[in-house]
Amino acid sequence: MSISTNDLKNGMALNLPEGLMSVVEFQHVKPGKGGAFVRTKLKNVRSGAVLDRTFRADEKVKLAVIDKREMQFLYRESGDYVFMDNETYEQLHVTSESVGNAVNYLKEGDTAVLPTYEDEVIGIDLPASVELVVTETEPGMQGDRVSGARKAATLETGLVLQVPLFVNVGDRVKVDTRSGEYLSRS
């Protein structure tokens, strides 16, 4: 299905020669001389790469329909991640390439939204932050209150990040899934 570049909206997905792209922002430009055009910033849905592209006004582009399904992460099986559709209870095997760095924030039983395009999972939409348990870190010393001092901690998913000195093994910490940074102890 094709749409006109005049009808672009933020968040729309387009199937372009460069790949499957999502519209981050767009601007209609009508110069004094010459034809109108649409300046866009597009993000590759699979790789996350951002590119600027200009289209003629009313140029036709292919619209990509992305289906978003809420699924529960069940377990890992020989490099694949097995999810269950929350509505149909159908199980879906997703490759580690499609999961990407979301593996650092997913634990068994968690729910995530999986965007799919033509039956191919093209990523995982995670909440802005998740709570994970610290499984390994150096113990904090009494009186260790140096402002801003950090130490490495390994979380239950295997993710290693910098946390404040007062965080100990067994603590639950809130982690930002976009930056991978420690937010707070919970």
Q: Which domain CATH number covers 10?
A: 2.30.30.30
Judge whether 134 and 163 are in contact, CB under 8 Å: yes
Q: Domain check: are 56 and 101 in the same one? A: no
Number of domains in the chain: 3
Residues 48, 29 share a domain: yes
Q: Taking the chain (186 residues) in consecutive chunks of 10 residues, what is each chunk's mean pLDDT? A: 87 88 90 89 85 91 89 88 90 84 87 87 85 86 66 90 88 89 86
Residue 76 shares a structural domain with residue 43: no
Shared domain for 148 and 178, answered yes or no, is yes
State residue 166's pLDDT score.
86
The C-alpha atoms of residue 71 and residue 125 are separated, in whole angstroms, by: 11
Q: What is the pLDDT of residue 40?
A: 92
Q: Let me know whether 112 and 136 are in one domain.
A: no
57, 79: one domain: no
Query: Using CA atoms in the order 24, 60, 123, 116, what is the torsion angle rounded to 10 degrees?
Result: 140
Instruction: Name residue 69's beta-bridge partners.
Output: 114
Q: Residue 99: its pLDDT value, please?
A: 81
Answer yes or no: do 92 and 134 share one domain: no
Mark whether 12 and 34 lie in a shared domain: yes
- Lookup: tokens for 181: 């940074």
The answer to whether residues 6 and 58 belong to one domain is yes
Domain boundary among 62, 81, 96: 62
Do 8 and 57 lie in a common domain?
yes
How far apart CA 134 and CA 166 sit, in angstroms, is: 12
DSSP 17-69: TTEEEEEEEEEEE--SSS--EEEEEEEETTT--EEEEEEETT-EEEB---EEE
My answer on whether 111 and 141 are in the same domain is no
Q: Which of 100, 121, 142 is the last residue of a domain?
A: 121
Which pLDDT value is given to residue 143? 58
80 and 117 co-located in one domain: yes
pLDDT in the model for residue 96 = 81
Q: What is the CATH number of the domain that holds 103?
A: 2.40.50.140
* Residue where a domain terminates, one of 104, 121, 138: 121
Residue 83 belongs to domain spanning:
67-121
Provide the pLDDT for residue 107: 87
